[in-house]
Structure 1
Amino acid sequence: MMNKIKSTRIESIDILRGLVMIIMALDHVRDYTNVGYVFGDPTNMDTTTPSLFFTRWITHFCAPVFVFLAGTSAFLYGSKKSSKSTLSKFLFTRGLWLIFIELTIVNFAWTFDFNLDLHIFQVIWAIGICMVLLAVLIYLPKKVLLVLGLIIVFGHNALDGITMQGNDPLAILWYLIHQQNFVILDGGESVLFIAYPILPWLGIMILGYCFGHFYTRDFNVQLRKKWLLILGFASIALFVVLRYINVYGDLVPWSVQKDSTFTFLSFINTAKYPPSLLYTLMTLGPAMLFLYSIESVKNAITNVLIVIGRVPFFYYILHLYLIHLIGLIGLNILGENWRELILTPTRFTSGYLADKGFDLWVTYAVWLIVVIVLYPFCKMFMRYKANNRDKWWLSYL
């Protein structure tokens, strides 16, 4: 039973993290089962359907909440330590560890290519490099750090007009900082795919770190809930106003479509790569309201979410391998060559699977299977962590 495991962790944060981890799996299952596989764009207004669009859109909440709460967890971890230097060392070493894991274990999970010629910089990389930078930034005064986070989140879209092409070092550096891009290397033998430029994610992590102050032991619960309401509603309202004005805050303005439904889809179709101001407001605002509403809730569903929310990294790694394996089996069922989902640079750039795949209901069925299969493993690992707090290496998993 959950109540037999004593923990000082904040359950509402674990519940939110567990929820976004489960939702995240839906997007990754879609990548490896639905028509178009990893090559399709479910937010393309010319080709999508409302059900496909919302299958993708709901998962937009995952990365910003995950990165934001990584910052919050860093603050809470540091609040239990005797000095900032201890926290700084942990953030620096864990950040480097996550970068290494992204470019090896995680990249292999995405590609199943032993040569690792497709180098994908995604959310684990972003969290890792942001932790490395946060290891230095935590020495700034709290108010200065908060202002810095706000400037990055609210101001980085002013850099949208700066774009580069090619694979020279300066261009690659800019891709890493703010511009999503592919880089073809070695005559096509290797591909660098920078999906998560770090600057806006750093801003989100900094704000998450500052947000951790609301969850310190001596912070008044009612005051915290008041702030959650204020921040939640203010973020949503600001999103609606700025999006309606259609001048600043996102790479792609919304536009009137063929009917009111698709016009609404265009309105909420904000840019994730990199995460725009409007994307951040649209996702973190509801997350604040969820934290407010879940503060004192305890039931069977929250118990399940807590389990996954306490072992998110473990769940993340396992779910990628399981989903990709299911994808290989599914491709074989379709009568296609399963090796097409061993994503070498050639296969990744060919787009052969762009018109292959299963209907959307299959994606949802597989998603439920994945979560059900992984839950007992997550529960066992959660218990192991809870009963072995003396093992330092568990804090890196």
Structure 2
Amino acid sequence: MVIMALDHTRDFFHSTAWTEDPLNLATTTPILFVTRWITNFCAPVFVFLAGTSIYLQSLRKTKQELSSFLIKRGLWLIFAELVIVNLGMTFNPLYTIQILQVIWVIGISMVILGLLIHLPFRLILILGLVIVLGHNLLDVVEAAPGFKPSLWWDLLHRRGIYPYANGHFLFVLYPILPWLGLMLLGYCTGTFFAPTVSPATRKTALLLTGFGLLVFFIVLRFSNLYGNPTPWSEQKSGLLTVFSFIDVNKYPPSLLYMCITIGPALLFLVAIESVKNRLTNFLRTFGRTAFFYYIVHWYVLHSLCLLMFLSRGHLLSDGVNIATKTQTILLFVVPGEGVGLPVVYVIWAGTVLVLYPLCRWYDRYKTSHKEKWWLSYL
């Protein structure tokens, strides 16, 4: 959750956020590349652990209860993405562009898992493996001459922008299929966290899986045969060659993208499971209030961005005019204007520190008001 805010802070404040690709090896710098690349871990770990959490809920709920909860919560998340998150992200009350991001894909995946939950565990595991291992076969179809995607295809497997009303657009950033497969595998991984599984057994299973995914990534990525739509290549320096090797596709998440993010995440889970100190307590607060934190951080960052926009001499009315002229989806963000990366880091750290007491209060409120059913949806 903390690392995620770094990427969004860069989007709002960095001077080149909307003029250059931070992963473009021809123009980026090492610190800028790493700043963007490290946030690749956020979305897949969110989706994967959402599946794990669902499995743990299945241990205390009937399948019918869990199915009903997942469908209702999934629909709520889709609504929240379209109405609450989009407003905080764009500051556009007219909703002229709707962006389907991680909350949407977690929501729709929950709805689908709510329907699949009645299937045998083994079948859910097989379905997750087939999707994750095989969805990159669709890259071949998409790369064929004359291929013309439809909205339904993009909702399934690739990103795209579609007009749906006069002056309104739908931006599919997180397609369903690969993220659903990842959630299904996260659900199946939940068996390692069941109360009947000893810590030693869980540690061994996660270590083997984590290292196995990394070895699988290195071998398959080195071959350039499958698993990512764009190959890696040798660059003018060893560091840039490494960057090319680890720069894998997020939109949609390729097989290799999932391997290089979930593998280290599993190893990290092993490393921190028994660690308890002030830092882990600090970070756990954001984990326990993840959705609340996610929504609020958009509004805090965008409000700070608006203040900076006005401090540079712009008027409120300029926000719409500039966004229309530059085709920027975030109001009050001007391509080419902004601050350097060190200042971005300062703003990011300050935002996280400001949000901590608010999240801590909400965590305590949730804990002391467990009788309020609606809190389970936040």
Counterpart check, 1:119 vs 2:88? no
Structure 1 equivalent of residue 115 of structure 2: 136
- RMSD, aligned CA: 2.1
Residues 184-236 of structure 1: CA distance to partner in whole angstroms, max 9, x if unpaired?
Answer: 4546x112110000100000000111111111111121100000100110011
Residue 110 of structure 1 deviates from its aligned partner by 0.9
What is the distance in 2 between the residues matched to 1:347 and 1:113? Answer: 15
Q: What amino acid is the match of 1:175? A: D
CA contact (8 A) 1:118 1:192 kept: yes
Change (3 A) 1:233 1:340: farther
Give the CA deviation at 1:162.
Answer: 2.7
Secondary structure of 2:208's match?
Answer: helix
CA distance in 2, matches of 1:341, 1:268: 37
Is contact 1:111-1:344 (8 Å) kept? no
Counterpart residue number, 1:70: 50
- Counterpart of 1:355 in structure 2 is 336
Give, in angstroms, the shift of residue 268 of structure 1: 0.7
DSSP-derived class of the 1:264 partner: helix
Q: TM-score, normalized by length of structure 2? A: 0.94
CA distance in 2, matches of 1:387, 1:69: 25
Deviations 1:233-286 (A, max 9, x none): 001111111111111101111112222111111111110000000000000000
Distance in 1 of aligned mates of 2:280 and 2:320: 36
Higher relative contact order (CA 8 A, sep 6+): 1
Give unmatched runs, 5+ long, in structure 2. none
Which residue, out of 190, 197, 202, partners 1:219? 197
Q: 1:50 aligns with which of 15, 30, 36?
A: 30
Q: Judging changes above 3 Å, is the alpha-carbon distance between structure 1 residues 393 and 347 closer, same or farther for their aligned structure 2 residues? A: farther
* Deviation at residue 339 of structure 1 after TM alignment: 5.5
User: What CA distance in whole angstroms lies between the structure 1 residues aligned with 2:91 and 2:101?
Assistant: 16
Once the two structures are superposed, residues 124-163 of structure 1 have per-residue CA deviations (whole angstroms, 9 ceiling, x without a partner) of 0000000000001111111111111011111100101233
Look up the match of 1:171. Answer: 150
**If the length of structure 1 is used for normalisation, what is the TM-score?**
0.89
Match of 1:228 in 2: 206
| 1:145 paired residue number | 124
SS at match of 1:120: strand
Partner secondary structure for residue 313 of structure 1 = helix
Give the conservation status (yes or no) of the 8 Å contact 1:235–1:285: yes
| Deviation of 1:333 (Å) | 3.4
In structure 1, stretches of 5+ residues that fail to align are 1-20
- Give the direction of change, closer, same or farther, for the CA distance of 1:343–1:30 in structure 2 (3 Å limit): farther
Paired with 2:323 and 2:136, the residues of 1 have a C-alpha distance of 31
Equivalent residue, structure 2, for 1:193 = 171
Q: 1:330: how far off?
A: 2.1
The reply on whether 1:385 has 2:371 as its aligned counterpart is no
| Kept in 2: contact 1:30–1:37 (CA 8 A) | yes
1: CA distance, partners of 2:7 / 2:16: 13
Paired residues of 1:340 and 1:353 also in contact (CA < 8 A): no
Equivalent-residue separation in structure 2 for 1:390 and 1:343 (angstroms): 48
Deviation at 1:36, TM superposition (A): 2.8
Measured at CA, do residues 257 and 382 of structure 1 come closer, stay the same or move farther in structure 2, by a change above 3 Å? same
What is the CA–CA distance in structure 1 between the aligned matches of 2:296 and 2:256, rounded to whole Å? 31
- Is the 8 Å Cα contact of residues 111 and 342 (structure 1) preserved in structure 2? no
Q: Is the 8 A contact 1:113 1:343 kept in 2?
A: no
Aligned length: 372
After superposition, where does 1:100-119 map in structure 2 within 5 Å? 100-119=79-98
Greater shift in the superposed pair: 335-344 or 239-248? 335-344
Asked if the contact 1:334/1:357 (under 8 Å) is kept, the reply is no
Aligned to 1:26: 6
Taking the TM superposition and a 5 Å limit, the aligned residue runs for 1:291-302 are 291-302=269-280
